[in-house]
Amino acid sequence: MQLITDNIQKNIDFLRENKSNVIKFVDVIEKAAREGKCIFVVGSGRSAMVGQMFQTRLEHLNVPVYFITNSRSVPHLDKGDVLIVISGSGRTAIVKAIIESYLDQNPNILSITSYPESWIGRMSDLVVKLQGRTKIDIARKEKGEDASLTPEGTQFEIAAAVFLDGIIAELVKRLNKSNEDLLAAHSQST
């Protein structure tokens, strides 16, 4: 548990130090929302689940949003639409294929990754770096030992979920929405 909470704190500190990137990230989404542009969210595996949570919250804000699950069902992007990519490694093959299918439409690409220097990071207009695995995990893995009790990119995905919930909280404020507004857009069962 300490490993996870320490990683979240490191990401909070890092995002505070790099506040201008966070503000730009929110600015791009806010502008698209105000102009009725679409947001397209892309991720694979557990990053996809984080993306789907973000998609749901954007829907509650009445922002036109789509989640893209594979390269065979990529909807058309219009000028001003935003592609948000979530990939811890920055090199996930299916995510890369989806981005490649959009490059000729010149989308505004925002990415969240642990590796800004990766292909996905380099293809992005704006990158928010989130730390995933710790240095201790990497050193242990290089020795052939268990990396940690948090498998694969778990720490990245937790950090991405927290970051994106923070983005939603900022958008709620900027778009003058209330909790009641969000609840009204929430699916209700009888």
Per-residue model confidence (pLDDT) at position 70 = 74
What pLDDT score was predicted for residue 10?
83
The pLDDT value given to residue 118: 93
* Strand partners for 134: none
pLDDT at 35: 95
Nearest Cα neighbor of 68 from 101, 21, 37, 104 is 101
pTM of the model: 0.85
Domains along the sequence of the chain with CATH: 2-179 (3.40.50.10490)
pLDDT at 137: 55
Burial pattern 89-102, b for ≥16 Cβ within 10 A else e, equals bbebebbbebbeeb
Consecutive 10-residue averages of pLDDT for the chain (190 residues) = 76 85 95 95 93 95 90 80 93 92 90 93 95 58 60 78 93 91 70
pLDDT of residue 57: 94
pLDDT value, residue 32:
95
Residue 131 has a pLDDT of 82
pLDDT at 189: 47
